[in-house]
Amino acid sequence: MKIVLIGYMGSGKSAIGKKLAEVLNLPFKDLDTEIENREGTTVSEIFSSRGEIYFRKIENAILKEILALDESFVLATGGGTPCYADSITVLTNRDNVTSVYLKVPLEVLTERLFFEKDSRPLLSHLETKELLNDFIRKHLFERVYYYNQANKIVEVEDKSIDEVVKEITSTLF
């Protein structure tokens, strides 16, 4: 069983993924970390030195490699992962892969990401909450089509990590 968490940045994919992996006694993988390990540099550096198109190409290739592994795991993806190339098809139509969209309201994402924006390459230039909110709103409008194709959708808004993990596991078994 491969469980792949998708959703906008700040939706809790890594935190929820780690706890879900622990509860299911599975390894946890983070797609951005896998990319950084293979490229020998950070995602931010890849974006700034090679550009988003290069990043998305290697992201798609590494996603396919990870999903082809003959093992079970929980994988946290990047916020844009399902929106490029054939990634959403790969995530929703493979045997033994369950994609889960962690759905978080715009206002909650804005609050969470405002204090993290300097460490996120796509957000670091946004100086106010209003600009950040507008940016996220536009991105969500573009991306929700892909996110909503996930095999399962879990509303995260005001739930604890444990509550979200419990909801995910109850829909899997």
Annotated binding site for Mg(2+): 14
pLDDT in tens, 69-125: 999 999 999 999 999 999 999 999 998 999 999 999 999 999 999 988 888 877 888
Residue 26 lies in a domain: yes
Query: Domain total for the chain?
Result: 1
Residue 170 lies in a domain: no
**Strands 2-6 and 152-155, how do they pair?**
unpaired
Neighbouring CB atoms inside 10 A of 69's CB total 12
Buried b (16+ CB within 10 A) or exposed e, 128-164: eeeebbebbeebbeebeebbebbbebbebeebeeeeb
User: Mean pLDDT in the chain?
Assistant: 95
Total number of residues shown for the chain: 173
Residue 65 lies in a domain: yes
Annotated binding site for substrate: 32, 56, 79, 143
Residue 172 lies in a domain: no
In the chain, % helix, strand, coil (3-state, to 5) comes to 55, 15, 30
pLDDT at 173 over 80: no
Annotated binding site for ATP: 10-15, 120
pTM (2 d.p.): 0.95
Dihedral (Cα; 151, 67, 61, 149), 10-degree rounding: 0
CA 21, CA 3: separation in Å to the nearest integer?
9
Residue 83 lies in a domain: yes
- At residue 2, the 3 state secondary structure works out as strand
Annotated binding site: 10-15, 32, 56, 79, 120, 143
pLDDT in tens, 21-72: 999 999 999 999 999 999 999 998 998 899 989 999 999 999 999 999 999 9
**For position 70, what pLDDT does the model report?**
96
Sign of the torsion angle spanned by Cα atoms 117, 122, 124, 128: negative
* CATH classification at residue 81: 3.40.50.300
- Tell me which DSSP letter residue 83 carries: G
Residue 173 lies in a domain: no
In sequence order, what E strands does 118-158 have? 152-155
Residue 51 is part of which domain span? Answer: 2-164
